[in-house]
Amino acid sequence: MPTPTATQKSVDRANPAPHLGEFHFGDRAFKWFTLSMATSVFLLIVLIGVKLASGSTLSIQKFGWGFLTSSTWDPGHGVYGALPFIYGTVVSSAIALFIAVPLSITTAVFLTELAPLWLRQPLTIFIELLAAIPSVILGMWGFYVLCPWLQAHLCPWLKSSLGFIPFFQGPIAPRNLLAAGVIIAIMIIPIITSVSREILRSVPGLQREAAYALGATRWEVTRIAVLNYARKGIIGAVILGLGRALGETMAVTMVIGNDPKIPKALFASADTLASVVANQFGGADNELYQHALLEIGLVLLGVTIIVNSLAQLLLKFTNPGLKPQH
Amino acid sequence: MNTLMPPNEETNRTARRPEFPPSQHQAADAPLAPAAPAKSSTPAFSTRNLAVYFGKHQVLKSVSLDIKAHAVTAIIGPSGCGKSTFLRSLNRMHELIPEARMDGEIRLFGQDIYSREVEPVIVRRRVGMVFQKSNPFPTMTILENVTVGLRLNGIRSRTVLNERAERALHMVALWDEVKDRLNAPAVSLSGGQQQRLCIARAIVVQPEVLLMDEPASALDPIATSKIEELILDLKNNFTIVIVTHNMQQAARISDFTAFFYLGHLVEFDRTAKIFTNPAQKQTEDYVTGRFG
Amino acid sequence: MDAANHSLRKFTSGLMQAVTCGCALLVIAPLAFVFYHLLKQGVGSLNWNFFTKLPAVPGESGGGMANAIVGTLELLLLASLIGVPIGVFGGVYLSEYGSSRLNRWIRFAADVLNGVPSIIWGMVVWVLVVKPMHTQSALAGGIVLGLMMIPLIMRTSEEVLLLVPNGYREAAAALGISQWRTIVQIIMRTALKGIVTGVLLALARIAGETAPLIFTTPGNTFWNHSLTDPINSLPYQIFYYSTLPYDDQVRQAWAGALVLLLLVTAINVSVRVLTRDRR
């Protein structure tokens, strides 16, 4: 890296133009180069939207808004309606949140406030490793381990204790909506936990001290000074988890049973927006079929973008210095 | 290090006029029995050879002094001299830092607060603290902030809570300013008001001693003088220990002053003496502004 | 306040500590289970054949996942060619240049992209590359994985570049070094470790992705010899085999899953080790 020598400097001063010109060009070129790299993200978003839209025109034209409200999905007769999958996505995500949210938030509280110091780092690492498990591996594990266990133990128990509610009735399919909910929960717990953890850590120490100085116990300090303060951020973390849940594909498609009908109960097989595409795309042999599947992708895209943007807004609002989560 | 005790004299204090009902703190079976500060000769705090370490670093070196009840004691000294650490050891707040360790003895009205049976939580209910930067709980209203200590202690009755909150707010001269908006968020108050709110929050549980860590350093002069007036008023009901880097403030409001330097207690005496005729040269250099 | 109140508060505090601890253990339990089952079912099938043979016809025993493993490595390489330059230099722009207004939008867009489900990426590249080419291909697979890497790497790179103290930039400017040289040779070099760990994490993420590959390169029983042919990959092979009704294939799927999980975990752990030195 040549640093300007004395003679070079004097040459600069004597005749600055050529050197400045060279620097100027290099700097400008580099700046435009990196700018184009950075703005590729805008291009990608547009690309995604445009390509999905263009790839689903046949289906959009044929079914219009009815696509979203029709519950008939019959590729054999060329009739396509996405309602069963919207239903499946909503219910499986709801189940997942129901399981994951309390577990994640309490774990985050444990990690930041209540755990002994030597335990915090190892536990954090384990949770991050859990997040790193590929979806297909969790799906396989779900298929061979979780589903049989659910079918043999949890589902019958739920059926016997809550069977008076229609949702908990009916035959227990080996792969069902509940299994999908559980597996999605396992997958979104790490992200809700880690974002919540960041939020809780960012609560100013002064708040905790105020509570301690009043003679509050450890749990009271957590309750009054930390959780209260971090409310908004934690909601943002939960919505971020929801965004993840909506798009989970491989693990879901392996445990949900792949039945493109609105499931009558928790124990029935079903499909989500993501899982039906993964499952049926290989067999989509005509254009309308492909377009219908792409239109489902479009719906999924719209929903996830809205949910994720909402989460980001909430998180940035409460904690501008938050690290990006992905 | 010689034990420095303030000369036992009767300052012209008016008779203690209790404005609160007698303290209702621990029950009889808790190791720390309620100590009604009746005798004026029992020091509020009595430290012997107090040393505090953060890891290997010794921050306080063998501090021994007695803090007189119902008086204002100021702790002064340059940055890093250990005055905040000393203050925090009085209500065991330094224990929140993992590597903190202490040696020596501290007694609160004669009772050892570091004995094995005494939990820090109990100590902190008897000794209140106000911080440098006001820290009201932002998700709570003004009223909720004031009463949070009472509610934690199990007091649920609305009337009792409101009554005690009103009295505390009167004591900090905040009542008139907030009485119409007790349900407004605490953070809607100005900086000076928030700090007075924090003082009200601390005194409403009737602590025996009130610790203040540079309570006015983040405030403008007008708010500062209000806080100082407040401290002079509170003296009648509480013992106050205040850390301050502002020497004039110490001279204005305190009865006794302790000068710390590099973790040592250099001199402790009546304020008047410290500022006009200090015994140690270091003290004289500091109060005359030759360093620090 | 009385002893009863204090005892209740103390008890509640202890109880909550126990409850939250229990939840934390429950949360990491699946991790233990998954590892356990993968090891139990998969270790037995990890033999020489597994690593060197091509997949057998379903129903026949024998064969291996050699081309899947190599295929995954090839796809990662292809993806890096796209994802790393665009991501890293995009991150450079975010940290070194740009108005805060534009940058906020860029970051927002990157975060939106990070939230797009991987299956949608697959569909998009199917429309973009596979359909015009009339064939699924390794190229399409590399493209989709590479595109997915871009927003990931952009954000992590920006983060580490921002950590480089401004003092370096000022010192270089005072020496008269041009800005682009400063960035490339001083700033980026200082942040290199962080940039590399960001890339590694992104690679670990996409190494396990299956859904995009369903659209772009759904497996190949033979060795891949051209970018325009489909290529096999570990996640896809696992997916395919695990749903077959043949014991031998299922066993191999477990083994493949074990290999993939070990790969991903190894990358993550080594990143932890690298970043621990910094702290």
Do the domain assignments include residue A216?
A: yes
Domain membership of residue B21 (yes or no) is: no
Q: In this complex, is the C-beta atom of C7 within 8 Å of any C-beta atom belonging to chain B? A: no
Half-sphere exposure of A69 (CA within 13 A, CB side): 3
What are the pLDDT digits (tens) for C42-75? Answer: 888 888 778 888 887 777 777 788 888 999 999 9
Q: Is A209 on the interface with B (CB under 8 A)?
A: yes
All residues of chain B having their beta carbon less than 8 Å from the beta carbon of residue C4 are 27
Report ipTM (2 d.p.).
Answer: 0.89
Residue to test with chain C: of B26, B118, B150, most C Cβ within 10 A: B26
| A172 φ/ψ angles, rounded to the nearest 5 degrees | -95, 110
Specify whether A19 is located in the same domain as A162: no
Element (H, E) at A220: helix A218-221
The domain in which residue A202 lies consists of 82-318
Is some CB atom of chain C closer than 8 A to the CB atom of B122? yes
Determine the distance in angstroms separating the CA of A120 from the nearest CA of chain B, rounded to an integer. Answer: 14
Residue A241 token pair: 């988890």
CB within 8 Å: C28 and A34: no
At residue C265, the pLDDT reads 92
- A187 to chain C nearest CA, in Å? 10
Indicate whether A10 and A133 sit together in one domain.
no
Which residues in chain A have Cβ-Cβ distances shorter than 8 Å to C154?
38, 41
With beta carbons under 8 A apart, name residues in chain B contacting A210.
131, 135-137, 198, 201
**Residue B22 counted as domain residue:** no
Residues A169 and A25 in one domain: no
Tokens read off for B169? 């707010």
Q: Is the per-residue pLDDT at B6 higher than 70? A: no
Phi/psi of residue B290, each to 5°? -75, -20
CA distances from A223 to A109, A198, B55, B152, C15 (A): 10, 17, 30, 11, 14
Chains with at least 3 CB pairs less than 8 angstroms from chain B = A, C
A 240-279: CB under 8 A from B: none
Structural domain includes residue B3: no
As a whole number of angstroms, the distance between CA C188 and CA C158 comes to 11
Indicate the pLDDT class of residue A15, thresholds 50, 70 and 90.
Answer: very low
- Grouping H, G, I as helix, E, B as strand and the rest as coil, residue B258 is strand
Residue B32 lies inside a defined structural domain of this protein: no
Q: Contact, B276 vs B105, CB < 8 A?
A: no
How far is A34 from C142, CA to CA, in rounded Å? 22
Same domain, A122 and A215: yes
Q: Is residue B109 part of a domain?
A: yes
> How many angstroms away from the CA of B7 is the closest CA of chain C?
36
Looking up tokens 């960041």 gives: A198
Strand order across the B100-108 sheet: B57-67, B45-54, B100-108, B111-112
CA distance B269 to B273: 7
For chain C, the farthest-separated pair of C-alpha atoms sits apart, in whole angstroms, at 81
* Residues in chain A within 8 Å Cβ distance of C21: 110, 114-115
pLDDT in tens, C227-271: 888 999 999 999 998 888 888 888 889 999 999 999 999 999 888
The answer, yes or no, to whether residue B37 has pLDDT greater than 90, is: no
Q: How many domains does chain A have?
A: 2
Q: Chains B and C: how many Cβ contacts under 8 Å?
A: 25
Chain A contact partners (≥3 CB pairs within 8 A): B, C
CB contact under 8 A, C21 and A115: yes
Of C2, C9, C10, the CB nearest to B27: C2
Candidates B29, B119, B153; nearest CB to C5: B153
Question: Looking at the structure, do residues A86 and A31 belong to the same domain, yes or no?
Answer: no
Name the band, by pLDDT with cuts 50, 70 and 90, for residue B35: very low
Task: Check residue A257 and report its DSSP letter.
Answer: B
The domains located in chain C, with CATH, are 70-233 (1.10.3720.10)
The residue type of C176 is: G
Is the Cβ–Cβ distance between B197 and B189 less than 8 Å?
yes
The percent of residues above 90 in pLDDT, for chain C, comes to 50
Q: Is residue B292 part of a domain?
A: no
Q: Does B152 touch chain C (CB under 8 A)?
A: yes
Query: How many other C-beta atoms can be found within 10 angstroms of the C-beta atom of residue A235?
Result: 18
Closest-CA residue of chain A to B201: A214
Place of tokens 């450079």: C92
Q: Where are the beta strands (DSSP E) in chain B?
A: 45-54, 57-67, 72-76, 100-108, 111-112, 127-130, 209-213, 239-243, 256-261, 264-270
Q: Which residues of chain A have a CB within 8 Å of the CB of C243?
A: 143, 254
Q: Which helix (H) or strand (E) holds C263?
A: helix C247-278
Question: Residue B155: which domain range?
Answer: 45-287
Prediction pTM value: 0.82
Put simply, whether A231 touches B (Cβ < 8 Å) is: yes
| CB < 8 Å to A104, chain C | 27
> Nearest Cα to C208, choosing from C78, C275, C118?
C118
Q: Is A143 a member of any domain?
A: yes
Distance from CA of A228 to the nearest CA of B (A): 6
Q: For residue B249, what is the domain's CATH number? A: 3.40.50.300
C2 and B122 in contact by Cβ < 8 A?
no
Confidence of residue B33 (pLDDT cuts 50, 70, 90): very low
Q: Is residue A141 part of a domain?
A: yes
Report whether pLDDT(B12) > 50. Answer: no
User: Which one of C108, C119, C218 has the shortest CB-CB distance to A312?
Assistant: C108
Neighbouring residues of A150: CB distance < 8 A, sequence distance ≥ 6? A176, A178, A179, A182
pLDDT digits (tens, 9 = 90+) for B173-195: 899 999 899 899 998 999 889 99
Question: Is the Cβ pair C6, B26 closer than 8 Å?
Answer: yes
Q: How far apart are CA A309 and CA A322, in angstroms?
A: 15
Q: How many domains does the structure of chain B reveal?
A: 1
Cα separation, C230 vs C213, in Å, equals: 10
User: pLDDT band for position A111 (50/70/90)?
Assistant: very high
Exposure of B165 by Cβ count < 10 A (0-12 exposed, 13-18 middle, 19+ buried)? buried
In a domain, B30, yes or no: no
Contact C265/A278, CB-based, under 8 Å? no
DSSP secondary structure of B104-154: EEEEETTEETTSTT--HHHHHHHEEEE-SS----TTSBHHHHHHHHHHHTT
CA-angle at C132, arms to C129 and C136, nearest 5°: 55
The residue of chain C nearest to residue B30, with distances taken between CA atoms, is C3
Q: Residue A5 has what pLDDT? A: 46
State whether residue C12 sits within 8 Å of chain B by CB.
no
Inter-chain contacts counted by CB atoms under 8 A, chains A and C: 287
A206, amino acid identity:
L
Intra-chain end-to-end CA distance of chain B, in Å? 23
Same structural domain for residues A27 and A90?
no
Q: Is residue A16 part of a domain?
A: yes
C76-125 confidence digits (pLDDT tens): 999 999 999 999 999 999 998 877 888 989 999 999 999 999 999 999 99
**In the block, residue with structure tokens 């026949």:** C60
CB contact under 8 A, C3 and B125: no
- What Rg, from alpha-carbon coordinates, does chain B have? 19
CA angle B222, B226, B229 (to 5 degrees): 140
In a domain, A312, yes or no: yes
Is the pLDDT score of B5 beyond 60?
Answer: no
Q: From the CA of B22, how many Å to the nearest CA of chain C?
A: 13
Give CA–CA dist C209/C213, Å, rounded: 7
Please indicate, yes or no, whether residues A170 and A303 belong to a single structural domain of this protein. yes
The CATH number of the domain holding residue A288 is 1.10.3720.10
Set of chain C residues whose Cβ sits within 8 Å of the Cβ of B25: 1
The C-alpha angle B205, B228, B120, rounded to 5 degrees, equals 35
Q: Is residue A66 part of a domain?
A: no
Contacts of A103 in chain C (CB under 8 A): 23, 26-27
